Amino acid sequence: MEHRLLGNSGLKVPVVGLGCNNFGGRLDPKETALVLNQCIEEGLNFFDTANVYGGGLSEDYMGKALKGKRHEVLLATKAGMSVGDGPNEIGSSRKHLMQQIDVSLSRLQTDYIDLYQIHRHDPNTPVEETMRTLDDLVKQGKVRYIGCSNYAAWQIAEAMGVANNLNLQPFVTVQPEYSMMKRDVEKEISPAAAKLGLGILPYFPLASGFLTGKYKRGAGTPDGTRLAGNQQRADAALTSSNFDLLEKLEDFAAQRGCSMVELAIAWLLANPSVSCVIAGATKPEQVKANAKAGDCQLTIEEKAELDAILEEHGF
């Protein structure tokens, strides 16, 4: 498994990581352990979760499954989404973050988080308050590195400017939705990340599974798939024009002897600002496929040909 630096830090991470939002929802504790153990075996040991995934069960199941194996993995989690009905149970205020870091540490059965991320921008909390709190968590040893998720480019720049002016820990990553079919990142976030030294951690790299090829034209959504549980997202993804694109991409992949998973992840990794692609998995076999994708590389010519196909279809 190839490794890259996590943004402008000295931490090396595998180019493919595991998104853990299925734990506690689609997967029970035993299934969670099977997936995590396969990840460790494959060298895919960067795990990205959040305090709200599975209503908190994702962190809980992971903590139990990783007992005695903490030194083998890198743990990333997030805070900022609503965890209750109280006025201070959401956002990135000092009170909320100080409370939630301890909740996450307890669930994960660890005394530190490798990457602690603000799940989304909080317009109600001063940026200085958030960045000072994160800096304090690093100084306390509870957090090694900090990042953000679902931030606009200007929000990243604002936070990085505050950190620089006050000599605080800066973000080293940004985590946006990014795939062949979701390329808004390339307009502003990718250039900002390159300029500011942030590593991009794409989530939904397979467009909620559409780019795996598991969905077929006119066949609906198979039981147990991500789109089967989200009709609105399914209606947006399973269009005739999207299937036209998918069939061209499948031909492209077949001609080169690779899978659609490998192609989709390799395309993301062709962006040098991408540190690690956050790919989900619900079975050990999917972990193996994701790990194999980390070894697939595109030539400059192949990347250009793929971009031309995407642009032809409006992506």
Percent of the chain with pLDDT over 70: 97
Q: Is the pLDDT of residue 228 over 70?
A: no
Condensed to tens digits (0 to 9), the pLDDT of residues 26-43 reads 999 999 999 999 999 999
Tokens (6 digits) for 53: 């995934």
Give me the torsion for CA of 276, 281, 283, 288, rounded to 10°.
-30
Condensed to tens digits (0 to 9), the pLDDT of residues 122-150 reads 999 999 999 999 999 999 999 999 999 99
Catalytic residue at 116? no
Query: Three-state SS for 48?
Result: strand
Tokens (6 digits) for 312: 């032809």
Tokens (6 digits) for 281: 């998995």
Give me the torsion for CA of 257, 48, 15, 221, rounded to 10°.
20
Confidence of residue 232 (pLDDT cuts 50, 70, 90): confident
Provide the mean pLDDT of the chain: 95
Condensed to tens digits (0 to 9), the pLDDT of residues 278-303 reads 999 999 999 999 999 988 899 999 99
Averaged pLDDT for residues 93-112: 98
Tokens (6 digits) for 306: 């793929």
Which among 53, 61, 145, 215 is annotated as catalytic?
A: 53
Topology annotation, domain 3-209+264-284: TIM Barrel (3.20.20)
Indicate the DSSP class of residue 228.
G
Please tell me the distance from the alpha carbon of residue 151 to that of residue 157, in angstroms, as a whole number: 10
Backbone conformation region of residue 54, classed left if phi is above 0, alpha if psi is from -120 to 50, else beta? left
Using N-to-C axis directions, what is the helix angle for 94-108 and 57-65, rounded to 10°? 40
Condensed to tens digits (0 to 9), the pLDDT of residues 187-223 reads 999 999 999 999 999 999 999 889 998 888 877 677 6
Strand pairing category for 74-79 and 46-48: parallel
Give pTM, 2 decimals.
Answer: 0.95
Residue-level pLDDT at 255 = 93
Condensed to tens digits (0 to 9), the pLDDT of residues 155-191 reads 999 999 999 999 999 999 999 999 999 999 999 999 9
Confidence of residue 226 (pLDDT cuts 50, 70, 90): low
